[in-house]
Amino acid sequence: MQPTIKFLLKDIHDTHKALMEDVELINQLQISVKKITACFQAGGKLLICGNGGSASQAEHLAAEFTGRFKLERPPLHAETLHNNISHLTAVANDYHFSQVFKRSLQAVGKTNDILLALSTSGQSENVIEVLKEAKKMGISSILWTGNKDGAAAKIADLALRYPGANTARIQEGHLVFSHILCELVETEMFG
């Protein structure tokens, strides 16, 4: 049976409603806001990564911080770990695709930075590897994932599990997280 628009809108609504009722997840999002705000205030940067649609969302989030979200303000240092296609293809070819984010983090990451990794499944090998590397480097890590208990959630310092059961709902939820994060960090720093 093909889903109707009304069915899909109800699914989106129900998933967002589950987020609104998840006190622990809301608290984790608030902790993320505080950590990222403190990172920027200390001169650190937000390093973001993800695959596929999550890579696009990572770029969107970085752009909101380096440009602006709602307030006129100085740019904040946020960048993706996958923005250099030559790096991605060289590392994937010479090492393995699981190493692409890890190698970027090794090149640009510092201890006062924060790694934000997006993985709808929580099982992406390259996300798992970069989270492990962040731990080794003393870089705080945040994971945005879905409601399944993937391996990445066990490694990240803070794992936010959006209550969606399929990739589309999880990616929509990560966009909600992005906009909440941007607005609250901006307000905290410049409001």
Domain 21-190 has CATH 3.40.50.10490: yes
Residues 171-185 pLDDT 10s: 999 999 999 999 999
Six-digit token pair at 37? 């705000």
Residues 5-48 pLDDT 10s: 999 999 999 999 999 999 999 999 999 999 999 999 999 999 99
Backbone angles phi, psi at 164, to 5 degrees: -95, 150
Residues 114-149 pLDDT 10s: 999 999 999 999 999 999 999 999 999 999 999 988
Query: What amino acid is encoded at 34 in this protein?
Result: K
Give the whole-angstrom CA distance, residue 132 versus residue 68: 31
Six-digit token pair at 108? 């640009």
Classify the phi-psi angles of 119: left when phi > 0, otherwise alpha if psi is within -120 to 50, otherwise beta.
beta
Contact indicator for 177, 25 with CB cutoff of 8 Å: no
Q: What is the per-residue pLDDT for 91?
A: 96
Distance of CA 73 to the CA centre of its chain: 22
Residues 67-82 pLDDT 10s: 999 999 999 999 999 9
- What's this model's pTM, rounded to 2 decimal places? 0.96
